[in-house]
Amino acid sequence: MRDARRPPNAEADRVPVVLASQSPRRRQLLSLVGIEHEVRPANIDETYLAGEEPRTHALRLAREKAAAIIVPGAVTIGSDTIVVADGDVLGKPRDEGEAAHMLRRLSGRSHTVITAVAVRWRDGMVSDAEEVGVTFRSLSDRDIRDYIATGEPMDKAGAYGIQGYGATIVERVDGDYFAVMGLPLNRLARLLESLGLVYHFGPVRVAQRDATA
């Protein structure tokens, strides 16, 4: 019996993938799992709406990014990551002083990273979000100063990146590590399936049903 996930003409059923994000980390993660893709960053307004909850905000932005880039026949992936501490959203620091403030706030404590992902194909769009607990070790003033000097915190939500130097200040991750990096890969694969697509350790393809199965 043929595997329904592997169509006879696999090359003809391959679906092009567009990543609606300029994040090098998201691009790295898609490449890591063999999903060839084109990068077309979505230019959207990321301002919070009045009374908007963090998870709702991340989901809305992911969906707006996926909707903003339309390439005929292609799957578009949008994603958004936010860091939440004590109910407050910590975005990208505006300067080194704000980066230091964020890192002091996170030092020796746990916070939540929310990464939303949206997938658009044909007339359908699905989305979901992963919430992950992250705990920092206690940071000295020198730790904070030296980490900021690497430049890594300046373009990251919450002023840190878990995939770089920041790996040495994270004590524990409770949940999907890849969501903290910026793209929950397992969640992405499930969303693709819900749209009638399949990821089988390589390119995204149209799912096929074997009539004799």
Catalytic residue numbers? Answer: 80
Spatial separation of the C-alpha atoms in residues 91 and 33, rounded to whole Å: 28
| CA nearest to 91, candidates 67, 135, 61 | 61
Distance between CA 19 and CA 203 in Å, rounded? 14
- Which helix H or strand E contains 91, and what residues bound it? none
For residue 130, the SS3 value is strand
Classify residue 119 by burial, with Cβ atoms within 10 Å: 0-12, 13-18, 19+.
Answer: buried
